[in-house]
Each structure stands twice: as structure tokens, then as C-alpha cells.
Structure 1
Amino acid sequence: MKLGVPLGVVGIIVLLVVPMPAAVIDLLIVINIALGLVTLLTAMYVQKPLDFSVFPSILLVLTLFRLGLSVASTRLVLRDGYAGEVIDAFGHFVVGGSLIIGLVIFFILVVVQFIVITNGAGRVAEVGARFTLDAMPGKQMAIDADLNAGLISDVEAKRRRAEVAQEADFYGAMDGASKFVKGDAIAGIVITIINLVGGIAMGMTARGMDFGAAMETYSLLSIGDGLTSQIPALLMSVATGIIVTRGSTDEDLGTAASKQLGQSRNALSIAGAAAITLALFPNMPKIPFVLVGALLILAAQQIKARERREEEAKVLEAAVATANPTSTDTPEKLIEDMRMSALEIMLSTDLVDLVNTSSDDDLLARIRGLRRKIAFDIGIVVPPVRTRDSVELPQSTYVLKISGVEVARGELPRGRVLALGDDLDTLPGTATSEPVFGLQGKWVPAEMRFAAEMTGATVVDRVSVLITHLSSLISQNASRLLSREDVRLLTEGLKAVNPSVVDELIPSVLTLGEVQRVLCGLLQEQVPIRDIARIYESLSLKAKQTTNPEQLIEAARMAIAPAITARHARDGIIRVLTIDPVFEQQLLEGLRQGEEGSQILLDPSRLEMFLRSYAALRSKAEETGQTVVLVCAPALRPALYRTVSLQVPHAVVMSYPEVTGAGIRIETVGVVRESETIAA
């Protein structure tokens, strides 16, 4: 099979140069017609154009094959006055041996192929190629946005990028391949005229025929030769048109057409009645119109019967549920309904379509991908997310709950996509704010997606908006989601590969609950716990000196300090804010130990000025796109973080050893003072 196409192309070159006997020409003509049929049927049965990505190359090879056959058959017609049984049959039997009928049929085929199908397919291919190339940047940005939001994996992103590139290459190739079909039609006309004129000249000069005999003999042969080349060419033109006009569907052309043409019972009934009415007109043939009309009405009745059966099945299910109300009120069922879900998504009734297992954007499938990504990012196994619908929610509304408590809600208008960008005034839709990053956007109609991408906006579908919101909430509330059972599973997983670390720590030194408290403390500051082996090693050493949770957390942080620092570094540089040494010493002197950990006892007004200074420096750095970290003495870090995080959300506080021990270059961008800030 690998050598089939290369040998075929070499054979075509030979066909152009070496004379072939009539029997071989007959076989090659039959192969040509069969290949045209196979290509046409394949184009009809593929589910999407990219499934037949080799079509442009096949189109070129088959076009060259037809031209080679035309040259070989022309050589036989002019030399022998005979080009095989197939051409003879097309010239005599198919057109009835009449030159006029043959010419009319030939030119009708040429007109249908050249003017109707070829021009239309060429125009569609040109527009499709231009639109596909114009949409590439927007599609790539959407893939990058999904990847950055954790909605898809690296492998899925690579697959989607490759598919976008293949789509652009395919439509670009189809734009050029449509020119082959157009040129083939022109070549068929020219070759037929050459055969006709050259054949008459050969008959009169070389064979001694008069004009009438030469005209009758060579004209029928020329018409037969033209028809044998135009019929496969017409098949290829139709296949080209089918490929470039296919829409986005997961079914082949026949299945999709039968479903969509038969989806309206009223349309079939009206069409059938109209056909029967036409039979009543004077001089109209009765039987064909009545037969077609009756078939259409019969098809409409079949659809009506199918709809009635589906409705009866729904009524029966409702009746069974009503007749057995106690079947859903068993103690086991009530206990199951009472059980509190760690994560829950409530959807309004018009958003239930998001849970669609037949779609690539199925909400449940995207949640499974999100759980896997979070597990690899921060090291926790997100509990199953319960998805329910609620008639109490307003239309297009979703609610996110953690342990039964609502923590966020948003809107996902049906039939809309979210466009994010600066130049959205020209687009119709409802202005909104993206729920995670607060970006300004607009809910635009789904059919305006391409127009939105052309303006430079990033277009996000409804499921992606919901998944991004859920991902952000899980990261912020990871410490609440880590249960005692989750810690047990993590410990058992570590014990399977590193049993000595676990045996040394649990339960001889720390209990499972104490380990959970340390891990939750790390997650509360957005510190990943994926390197749990190193965390346990540090705890087993520190716990021999103290079981104070705060000190255990600091020991664990030091063990994974390079990973913490790497999360906040950009281009190998971590940018830090330092504290004025005098004021830092005063903060250390104000440290006091309490039941909930260390605290800073200092004049509130002085702390307020310090926090205001820190917030100003942090905002200034963020305006330039920089991520900054506040660094301080190790003993001060826990208490300072609790103080700063109350006023500045998402603040990052690290100790000097954590930053300096990671091997990353440090750049000081400012010094925080009690009453003013100093830029570095």
C-alpha cells in the first residue's frame, strides 16, 4: 500500500509517453471511474473534513491520471480510429449514436461541472481558507487561556494546537486544489475539440475518408472519449463541493441529512399535500405526484407516531414515580441526601444543558480534568464535586458551595460566550465582569464568536467560565477541603514507596490530626504540599523538639523553600520588599506567643501606617506587571503574615532563609517603613 501511490504516479508519466493498447485503456478508464466513485462516497461518509485531509493530494493525482488517459486515448483515436470498447460504448450506446445528442450531453456535463459545481466549490474553499487563517490567532489564544486556567492538560493543548494548524493547512490546500478541478474542466473541452478536428483531418488525409464519414466516425469517438473523462471529473467536482461545504457535525452526510430533513413533521405534511394538489391541475401526470405526496405524508405520520411513543414513555415514567413515592424516601436515601458535600455546584434549570455527556464541553468531564490538574499543582485530591439543579435559582445562575455554604455565584447566559478585551463596544451583548480576575467583558451571542475574535478579544465558552471560577475557589479554600481522610490516603500513598518516613513520624511522634493541621497551614498560604515526603521528613525532625503547630509549619516551609520561591519567581528573579531594619526590630520586640500562635503587639496606628506603606509599594509593583514578596526575619514571618493578610488579600510573606536558600537571584524593589516607602 505504501508503494501504490508512488508507482501510480510513475505509471501516469509512462502513460503520457508510451502508447498503450486499447484493452489497457479500457481497464484504466474503468479504474478512473471507480476511483471517482470511491472518493465521492468517502467524502460523503466522513464526519468532518479533516478526516479526509489527504483529499487535496488525491484530487491532484486523479486529475493527472485523467489527463494521462485523455492523452493516451487521443493517441489511439488519431492513430487507429479506435480507442477501446469503453469509449466506443460511450460514443454509440450512451448517446444513441447521434452526434448532436452526444455534443449536447457533453456540453451539459461541462456546464454543470465548470460553471455550477467548480466555481461554487472554489469560492467556498477560498472563503473557508481565509476565515480559517483569520481565526487562527483567536483559537490559539483560547487554547492558551484554557491551559493557563487549568481546564486542559499540556497534551490536550498540543492536540488542539495541532488540529488548528491542520485545519488551516487543509483549507489552504483545498483553496489551491479547487483550481485543479477548474483546469481539468477546461482541459476536457480543449482535448475534445482537438480530438474532433484532428480526427476529421486524419480520416480525410490518412484514411481516404470523405468529410461525412470522417465526421461520423471521429466525432462519436471524440464525444465518447470526452464523456469518459468528464464523468469522473464531475464526480471529483461533487466530492470537492461536499468536502468544502461540510459544517461542524459528528455524523456523516447521509445520517445528518436524514435526521435534519425529517425533524419537522409539519414540513413533510405540507410538502406532501402540495404534491397531491399539483396532481389536480389539468394535464399534470397524476401517478407521480400522488405517489410522492403519499410517501411524504406517510413519513410525517411515522414521525408523529415516534413522538407519541416518546411522550407516552415520559408519562409512564412520571406515573411510576407518582405511584411509588415511598421508594425514594427510604432511610438510606434520606441519609444520602442529608450528607454534606465538600464541593457543590448548583445550576438553574436552564443551565442543565451544560451537563451533556455527548459534548466535548461537558461540565463533568471538565471537572475531572480540573481535579487532576489541581492534584499535580498543589498536591491534594479534590473531593468529588456534586452537581445539582435548583428551581429556586434565577435563570442563567450558578452557585458554588463549600461544605453546604455558598461562597460564590455567577451568571452563564444561554446561547452566549464571554468575550474579554478592551475593544468590545462594537459587539452586541451584555457587559459583565469576569468573576475570577475582574476583567471587563461582554456576553455576546454564540454566533458572534468569530466576529469577537476578529476584534482581538479572547472568547471563552460558558463551561470554561464556570471551571475557571471553581478552580480559583478550590485554590483559595484548599485548607478547608483537606480532610482527615484525605491526609490518611496521602500518608498511605507515601508509605507504599517510602515507608520509613511515615513509620518514623506517625503515630510515634505526631498524630494524623496534628499532621493535618500542618498541611492545612501550608495550604492556607497557597503553599503546595505535593512534595509530601520532604515535608514529613522535616516534621519528624522538628517534632522531636516541639509539637507547636506554628513551628512545625515553619520547618516544613524551610524543607520545600525552593518550590515556594520558584512559584513567585519570574525569569529566574524573585522581587522582594524588605522592612526597615529599625522597625523590623520593633516588630520582633512586640512578638507574643498565644494559643493561636504568635502575635505582634504594637500600637495599632503604627501598624496601620506600615500596612498602608506595604499596600502602596505592592500596588505600584503590580501596575508594572511584577509579583513582589515581603521578606522578614524567620521568627517574625508567621505573625506578620497573619497581620498583613487581614488587610491585603493574597499577600505573600517569606523569611530570609527561604528566599536565599533557593538559588534564585533576588532583586529588592522597595523598603517598607512605618511612615513612608522607599523605592529600591
Structure 2
Amino acid sequence: MLKKADIGVGLYLLAAVVFFIVPIPSVLLDVMLAFNISIALIIVFNVLFVREVLDMSFFPTLLLFTTIFRISLNVSSTRLILLTGDPGNVVKTFGSFVGGGNMVVGSIVFIVLVLIQFIVINKGSERVSEVTARFTLDAMPGKQMAIDADLNTGAITDAEAKERREKIQRESSFFGAMDGATKYVKGDATAGLVITFINLIGGTIMGVMNQGLGFADAIQQYGLLTIGDGLVSQIPSLLISLATGILVTKGSNEADFSGILVKQLFGIPRVLYIVGSVLVFLGIFTPLNPVLFIALGLVFIIAGKNISKNIGEENIEEEVQQAETEAEEIRKPENVVSLLQVDPIELEFGYGIIPLADVNQGGDLLDRVVMIRRQIALELGTVVPIIRLRDNIQLNPNQYIIKIKGVQVTEGEILFDHYMAMNPGYVEEEITGIPTFEPSFHLPAIWITEAQRERAESLGYTVVDAPSIIATHLTEVIRSHIAELLTRQDVQNLVNNLKESNPVLVDELTPKLLGLGEIQKVLQNLLREGISIRDLLSIFESLADHAQTSRDTDVLTEYVRQSLKRAISSKYFPSNETTSVITLDPKVEQEIMSSVKQTEQGAYLTMDPEKTKAIMDSVRTETEKLESLGKNPIIITSPIVRMYFKKLTEDYFKDLIVVSYNEVESDVELQSVGMVTA
């Protein structure tokens, strides 16, 4: 069903075609010329006050419609001028009134008007349209990437991203169309100029030949009609050209054009003071009209004072509004959504420890936290999340707690302005102090004062200050929980970094062979046993080699460990030194393997509890032998048993190191000092 708007647009275009063919009476021509001027004014003021350029997205099409309609009216008026010499009231009035009834004056006004349109408005609009279209098209890829980045970070939704993309497409289409549409305006002005000369020559000939007028009378009569016809067509054309220039030169997509224009022009009082003073000076000390210039200068000075006063009032209103907004925020119900955020790592401390974290009081705890993140990144190859430090008045003054994902995992207490002295086992003489335990490894220690520090160090004590105690404790907690702190987003960041230098490897592995979650589990398995994932290239190559045969993350972890045997050997087995280790009885290995049950969710052990207890007792006996010698407890197993034995013992011996033979370099010297039996 046709709408009224559809019928109106159709009649508008149909009338333009009809006017080319069918002669129309002068009365109807007057109506159409008045309507044409009205349309031009409507377009100008719409463009002037529209807030967004795309609100006039059909402007290029509108230019074509108005151009063809205006030319059809020009043809109709030309027909009436040549046939009857009576083109109607509008044309006659423009010819006689604008030119003052003088053909020379009218001709000069018409020529000036044409020159302004051709040289100033049309040329400028055409150039601005061309440059704007070019820059808009060049900026499209960057805008698209910005939208994708905002979408990936969650700053915008899919619907908002779609809307932004569509807006970019509309902008590029609009400015590209405007670049071509300005040619319509230029062509319209040229056609109007040609038609004017035809009217003048043809009208003069018709007046001399058909009406018997003299040459002077004919050129005077038809010259005024021709000028009137030219002005009637050129003034709407000039308005449309002006609208085109305004639309393509608007500095902001969304702006109150007139308000911003006036504010930018008259918004600085000092400028008005200077201009007003200059005008007053010119009125007093030059022959210029003193009444005019002094009066105008005073107007600018008074306007500057009023604007200055208004600016002061606006500043006060803004301050009041800001205060009201802040008060309103306080009165509003608390936004509990922000409370749902859980920090990965938190260090909370009592008010007595605040000086250690306050830079203004000489505290360097914040710097130490930065160094912890750097140290673990170099040591384990993963980025530690931001560590949140905050004071907690509910704690004892010298107490601190460490939380992982919002849950407290450990705590400690220090004495401010004291040092912790630990006996490494060979001190020459014991000193007095306040007994305590070192929080990281729960070793016996004592608190001593600054005055006792030098003597304690000379006697062989290991002396550390309070910030070092907290930093060491925090470092050990992070090390023991770094596996669960490794998120999928962290893994994605590691993958992206590796892809920059090894895109082929990354594309082969993920997502074709392994998903991000499976890679995360392998890396967590490595970190859980203190194996660095810094050599991500070797890890990914090993995964790519073996993921085709197995997607069991535990099995893949074992393959990766074997590919990292150089790093594992250097970590646990010093070069040029024989390392004491514990081996596993082959019978125990056989019993472990016979107890393994494979399921879709992975493998698990179904060993008899009595047998498990016997094995754990043997492990405890053998590891205590190594610990009594001051050495790390290391158990060597066959490759196929290692991961199951580690799972069996991890609940009983947290720091037990379990290594397979395939993870040891061939030049490492080992000495078995015991065997785990059942």
C-alpha cells in the first residue's frame, strides 16, 4: 500500500519530467518557483541544525531530486519567456526588484552571484567532499579493529558491535556518495548559466522579429526577464550548494551546531574586550564614524562582561551539581555487583604494618611485590596476577594474611622495628630474643632488636628484616598456588605471544589438536611440580608431536617433561656432583601399574589402603635419611609409573620430588641411597 510520502516524492519527480515536455501557465510556474525556494530553505536549515550527519543520509539523493526539478522549472520559464514574454510574477519581480529595473545592475548582481557559487561554494564543497570521502574510507579498517577489540574485551555487546559496524558502513557510503553528488550542484550551476545566455539571445531575437521591438527595447525587456529567471534558479541552487558545504564541513558527527559555533566564537571574554577596545580606538582616533564604531565597541565590551559573569555562574553551578552528584552516589544503594569481583591474590595486614607499605614513610613492600612478580615470571615462565595490598583493621596490628581467590590460605605475624634471626645449625653462640617461627618454612627463629643485629650476624645467624619476611612468605605461597592461578586467558596470552614468532606451530596445535583448556591443564601440571613453562616452544612442539596419539593431559604432561629433561636435570641435579636419590622397587612399580584403572575421565589408582600405607611408610623412612643429610628428597622411577606414584604420594609428602629416568640427562651422576618397598 502506497504511503502519502511515497505519493508526494513520486509526484515531485513526475512533475519535473512533465515540465520538460508540457508547457505550463505562468501562474502555475509562480507556484512551483515559490515551492522550489521553500524546499531550498528547508534543506539549508535542516542541515544547519541536524545533530548527526547521518540524519541526512539521503542528502546525495535529495541533491539529485532538487537539481532535476530546478532545471525543469528553468526549461519551463525559458519556454514562456521565448513564446509569450510573460514568465509570471516571480520571474518579473526578481528581474526588476533585484536589479532595480536596470539591466546593467541586474547583470552585475547576477554575475557576482554566479561567481560566488562557482569559485567559492561549489569548488570548496567539492574539495571537502573528496577529502572527507578519502579519509573516511582510509579510516574504516582502524575503526573495524577498534570495534573488534572492544567486543573481545567485553566493553560492548554483539548488538552494539553490529550497530557500530553498520554505522561505519553508512558513513563510508554517505561520504562516498557526497563526493559524487557535489558534481550535480556544479553541473546545475553551469546549466543555469548556459540557459541564461540562451534566454538573453533567444528573447532578444524573438522581440525584434515577432513583436517588432527595437534592439534596445528588446534587449532591455528580455534582459530583465532573463536576469529574473537566472536569479530565481540560481538562488535556490546557491542555497543547496551552501547546505552541501555545511554538511560536509561539520567538525563533529553529533553536535549542536549553532550552539557550539556561537560558543566557540563568543565564548572567551578577553577576545571580546580586545575587539571592543580596538573598535573604540578606531572610532576616536581615526576619521571613521565615531558613533558607529564606539557604540559597537561598547556592545562587545558589555557582552564580554556578561559572558564572564555567566561563566562564573556556570562554574558555581557545575561545582554544586558535582557535589549533589557525589552526595547522590553516597545516598544510592550500594552497587553490590562490584563486590562479586574476587582478587586472585590479596595481602591484608594490620595497621602496625602500614608503614612497610607506605612509600611516604619509607616502606618498600610495594617494590618488593613488583620484584616478586618479575622473579616468578623469570623462574616459572608465567605472569603472576596483580597482587592486591590492603589494610584490615580487624587484624592484629602486626598480623598479615594471604588470600588466594578470596580465601585465606596462610597468615603470619611480625614485630615492627625488629629482625628475625634464624640458626642455620652452626652458630658459635646463641643470643637471646623473642622465640617465634619463620612463617614460610615454619623454622624456629627469634626476634632481635636493631642493636643485636650485627652481633647475631657475626655469630652466624641468618638475619632478615620484616619486609623480607613478608615478601618471602608471599613468594612461597604464590609458588605453591601458581598452577590454579593460571587461567585460560593467561594461556591465551602465552599462545598469542608464541604465535608472533612461531605461527605455524601454534596453528598446527590449537585448536586442531588440543583446545585451550587442555593446554591449560598440561601447563598447570608442570607448574604444580615447579617445572618452568618459560620454554613454551619446546612444550608446544612436544604437544604437537604426541597429541595425535593421546589427548590425556596427564600422559601429555609426561611427554612434555621428557622434552624438558635438560631443564629438569639442571634444576634438581647439580653438574660435577653426585646426587643422592631414592629408587622404587620394581615390585612396587608393578603393583602400582596393576592398580591403574582407565576411564573416559582419565586414569586413577585402586590400590589397597594397607598396601598404600606400607609404601608411604617406606617413603617416609627413606626420605628422612636424605633430609637428615640436608639433601632434597628425590625419588627416581620408571617413566610409565612416575605420574601415578606422584599422585599417590602428593597428599602425604607435599614437597617430594619424583623424577623418571627419561627426565635425567645422560651425564648426570646419581647414587641410590635407599629403595621404596612395600
User: How far does residue 150 in structure 1 lie from its aligned partner after superposition?
Assistant: 2.2
The residue type equivalent to 2:224 in the other structure is L
User: How far does residue 101 in structure 1 lie from its aligned partner after superposition?
Assistant: 0.8
In the alignment, structure 1 residue 574 sits paired with structure 2 residue 514: yes
Please show how residues 178-577 of structure 1 align to structure 2 within 5 Å: 178-248=182-252, 250-310=254-314, 480=405, 526=487, 573-574=513-514
Encode CA deviations 1:617-650: one digit per residue, 9 max, x unaligned. 335489x9x99899676888999999x9xx99xx
The residue type equivalent to 1:244 in the other structure is V
Unaligned runs of 5+ in 2: 344-356, 360-365, 374-381, 387-402, 409-480, 490-507, 569-597, 604-659, 666-678
State the alpha-carbon separation in 1 of the partners of residues 358 and 222 from structure 2.
81
The residue type equivalent to 1:93 in the other structure is F
State the alpha-carbon separation in 2 of the partners of residues 269 and 600 from structure 1.
72
Encode CA deviations 1:68-98: one digit per residue, 9 max, x unaligned. 0100000000000010000111111222100
State the alpha-carbon separation in 1 of the partners of residues 31 and 19 from structure 2.
13
Cα-Cα RMSD: 5.3
SS at match of 1:3: helix
Do the aligned partners of 2:266 and 2:272 also contact (CA within 8 Å) in 1?
A: yes
SS at match of 1:279: helix
State the alpha-carbon separation in 2 of the partners of residues 246 and 311 from structure 1.
28
The residue type equivalent to 2:202 in the other structure is G
Do the aligned partners of 1:44 and 1:252 also contact (CA within 8 Å) in 2?
A: no
Identity of aligned residues (%): 36
Superposition misfits of 4+ residues, deviation over 4 angstroms: 310-320, 340-345, 405-409, 520-528, 568-573, 575-579, 598-601, 611-616, 619-622, 626-642
In the alignment, structure 1 residue 657 sits paired with structure 2 residue 600: yes
* 231 and 641 in structure 1: CA distance in 2 versus 1, 3 angstrom threshold: same
Do the aligned partners of 1:95 and 1:101 also contact (CA within 8 Å) in 2?
A: yes
In the alignment, structure 1 residue 617 sits paired with structure 2 residue 538: yes
2:28 to 10, 24, 36: 24
What TM-score does the superposition give when structure 1 sets the normalisation length?
0.54
In the alignment, structure 1 residue 149 sits paired with structure 2 residue 186: no
State the alpha-carbon separation in 1 of the partners of residues 342 and 283 from structure 2.
63
In the alignment, structure 1 residue 173 sits paired with structure 2 residue 94: no
State the alpha-carbon separation in 2 of the partners of residues 319 and 155 from structure 1.
35
Q: Could you tell which deviates more after superposition, 165-174 or 293-302?
A: 293-302
User: How far does residue 526 in structure 1 lie from its aligned partner after superposition?
Assistant: 4.6
State the alpha-carbon separation in 2 of the partners of residues 297 and 46 from structure 1.
32
Tell me the residue number matched to 2:136: 132
Do the aligned partners of 1:63 and 1:181 also contact (CA within 8 Å) in 2?
A: yes
* 312 and 138 in structure 1: CA distance in 2 versus 1, 3 angstrom threshold: closer
Q: How many residues align?
A: 430
* 522 and 157 in structure 1: CA distance in 2 versus 1, 3 angstrom threshold: farther
* 613 and 633 in structure 1: CA distance in 2 versus 1, 3 angstrom threshold: farther
* 86 and 45 in structure 1: CA distance in 2 versus 1, 3 angstrom threshold: same
Please show how residues 24-103 of structure 1 align to structure 2 within 5 Å: 24-103=28-107
User: How far does residue 286 in structure 1 lie from its aligned partner after superposition?
Assistant: 2.5
Which protein has the larger Cα radius of gyration, Structure 1 or Structure 2? 2
State the alpha-carbon separation in 2 of the partners of residues 308 and 613 from structure 1.
60
SS at match of 2:514: strand
State the alpha-carbon separation in 2 of the partners of residues 70 and 251 from structure 1.
37
Unaligned runs of 5+ in 1: 321-326, 346-391, 395-400, 410-436, 439-468, 471-477, 484-519, 529-567, 585-597, 649-654, 661-671
State the alpha-carbon separation in 1 of the partners of residues 135 and 306 from structure 2.
41
State the alpha-carbon separation in 2 of the partners of residues 184 and 237 from structure 1.
10
State the alpha-carbon separation in 1 of the partners of residues 661 and 243 from structure 2.
75
* 132 and 199 in structure 1: CA distance in 2 versus 1, 3 angstrom threshold: same
State the alpha-carbon separation in 1 of the partners of residues 217 and 160 from structure 2.
70
What TM-score does the superposition give when structure 2 sets the normalisation length?
0.54
State the alpha-carbon separation in 2 of the partners of residues 271 and 343 from structure 1.
58
Please show how residues 159-170 of structure 1 align to structure 2 within 5 Å: 159-170=163-174
Do the aligned partners of 2:13 and 2:65 also contact (CA within 8 Å) in 1?
A: yes
State the alpha-carbon separation in 2 of the partners of residues 156 and 319 from structure 1.
33
State the alpha-carbon separation in 1 of the partners of residues 161 and 602 from structure 2.
33
State the alpha-carbon separation in 2 of the partners of residues 38 and 673 from structure 1.
88
Do the aligned partners of 1:122 and 1:178 also contact (CA within 8 Å) in 2?
A: yes
* 205 and 600 in structure 1: CA distance in 2 versus 1, 3 angstrom threshold: closer
State the alpha-carbon separation in 1 of the partners of residues 23 and 290 from structure 2.
56
State the alpha-carbon separation in 2 of the partners of residues 76 and 295 from structure 1.
51
SS at match of 2:199: helix
State the alpha-carbon separation in 1 of the partners of residues 197 and 165 from structure 2.
49
Do the aligned partners of 2:49 and 2:256 also contact (CA within 8 Å) in 1?
A: yes
User: How far does residue 147 in structure 1 lie from its aligned partner after superposition?
Assistant: 1.7
User: How far does residue 7 in structure 1 lie from its aligned partner after superposition?
Assistant: 2.1
The residue type equivalent to 2:49 in the other structure is Y
User: How far does residue 157 in structure 1 lie from its aligned partner after superposition?
Assistant: 1.2
